[in-house]
Chains A and B, each alone.
Chain A
Amino acid sequence: MVDRRHFIKKAAGSLAALGGLSLLQRSGLAVATGAEQSTIMDVLPGKEALIKKTYRPPNYETPVNYFDSPFTPNNRFFVRYHNAVIPDVKISEWRLRIGGDAIRTPLELTLEQLRKDFKPVEIAALCLCSGNRRGLFQPHVPGIQWGSGAMGNALWRGVRLKDVLAGAGIGKSALEVSLDGADSGVHKTTPDFVKSLPLAKALDENTLIAFEMNGEPLPHWNGFPARLIIPGWTATYWMKHLTAVNVISKPFDGFWMKTAYRIPKDRFPNGQFGSQETGTTMPITEMVVNSLITNLMDGQTLAVAKPMEIKGIAWDGGNGIAQVDVSTDGGNSWHQATLRQDYGRFSWRQWQYVLEPKRPGAYRIMARATSHSGASQPLEPIPNPSGYHHNAVQKITIQLA
């Protein structure tokens, strides 16, 4: 058992030698100078080494090589907080409160009740920070300068939010469902991190209150003892250390809905949150189609003699991946990659392509995913003020010698 209060586990010298910079360069795109310098490997209690972006609140991303598997290990799963006060939640004291002005009978549930009184459900789903790859936007956008690792794929086990809400009774005036977690700001005046969902999304059969991740209790830094899972939507809604679910009759107007996590309406599809839209902006909701090469580093040198395996992952907001195309000549020609096991439409999908190189030299490698809805990745990211939805086709160069 790790005692978080008295325990500082430093990254070992060998990890420091690995350096954050080389890991960031895997993506083949440059982050800002400051982001490079403040990026180091560090270990949070209960985790293994991750790429530290900020210490407090803790924001840590997963090195890309850990994405070369169907599910991301819990101890390498990325960590993202908005506020620095993060209590160690004790199961005996934890309660989930169901309330709001559009709920008939407010409820208070223990973890034991949640586990016993509702049907268990397990879903494979990608948890992806809205700002993943923000650090790769040109020109750079302020905020956490994430590389490609603010995401992870996991098997989440819990109960359906709609089953829990049914027990409390949803009133006719219900419009949104707001979510709060145990974490908060240092000052009382700091806006608490509270999000809301449209009622229909809260009642979706895939929306879960999860208490297990990859067969184990949720790690502290990923929302112990329970968090929300909204498969297909970016992680901003996946409230950690969930303590309150309120069914409300008016649009929730807290900072984290009204001001933060918004995108321009004219540049992105899939506005799915009508009650929170303005004339020009809407909340970010569904993930856009995307892919990542996981086994090659930009600038890497390999032997020309061998067939070269190019491996990666692809995902979208829940339509599922139809096809991944790989180019090894800078986009002049494209070849269909082989898709590996399908864990469901909310999971990322692994893929691979084997190149049999004929001659030495530089190879410009690109990957482009297409979803079952027909959506595909753009060659350049779509600019937006907060640096969300970076899904440009990745381009890396390797040397065959």
Chain B
Amino acid sequence: MRTLILLLSFFTVTATAGESQTLLKDRPGRSQVMAQCAMCHSLDYITQNDTILDRAGWEKTVGKMINVMGASINNADKQTIIDYLAQNYGK
């Protein structure tokens, strides 16, 4: 039951979103970012924080997503994601 509710609701929220309009910069690492981050949230969470976080800030944020928010991202992807965010959306 929980799974069903979860699935339906996930699509509910996805369906209301024009979120496919949010385009991340097409640079190395984008596919990992899209695969991992977009599982739980739209990518405008990244773009709206453009130039606010430096590398250490993005490291902390990605670390929080894994350690606090429960994202299961392996170390290789984690590093790719941090590099991508720091290089393309860093301060």
Contacts and interface: CB of A to CB of B under 8 A. Distances in A.
Chain B binds chain A: yes
Contact of A53 (B13, B48, B57, B89): B48
A286 interface: no
Interface in B27-76: 39-42, 44-45, 47-53, 57, 61, 68-72
Given A142-B61, A185-B70, A191-B68, A45 B16 contact: yes
A39 B41 CA distance: 16
Nearest to A88: B12
A102 to B, nearest CB: 27
A187 to B, nearest CB: 5
Interface string A105-144: 0000000000000000000000000000000000011111
A141 B52 contact: yes
B40 A185 contact: yes
Tell me which of B44, B45, B69 has the highest count of chain A C-beta atoms within 10 A of its own C-beta: B44
B27 to A, nearest CB: 16
Contacts of A4: 12, 15-16
B15 A8 contact: yes
Tell me which of A5, A45, A186 has the highest count of chain B C-beta atoms within 10 A of its own C-beta: A186
Interface residues of B, number: 36
B79 interface: no
A38 to B, nearest CB: 4
Given A56-B42, A84-B41, A85-B6, A34 B51 contact: yes
Interface string A233-268: 000000000000000000000010001000000000
A54 interface: yes
Interface residues of A, number: 45
Given A54-B41, A57-B41, A188-B70, A37 B47 contact: yes
Contacts of B49: 32, 34-35, 142-143, 145
Nearest to B71: A187
A259 B12 CA distance: 29
Nearest to A47: B16
B91 to A, nearest CB: 9
Given A5-B8, A5-B15, A142-B61, A191 B70 contact: yes
Interface of A: 4-8, 10-11, 32-35, 37-39, 42, 44-45, 52-58, 84-88, 140-145, 184-191, 255, 259
Given A53-B48, A184-B6, 20 more contacts: A32-B49, A32-B50, A35-B48, A39-B48, A45-B16, A55-B16, A55-B19, A56-B19, A84-B10, A84-B41, A86-B9, A87-B5, A87-B8, A142-B57, A143-B49, A144-B48, A186-B10, A189-B71, A191-B68, A259-B68
Interface of B: 5-6, 8-19, 22, 39-42, 44-45, 47-53, 57, 61, 68-72, 89
6 contacts: A7-B15, A8-B17, A56-B13, A84-B13, A140-B51, A187-B71
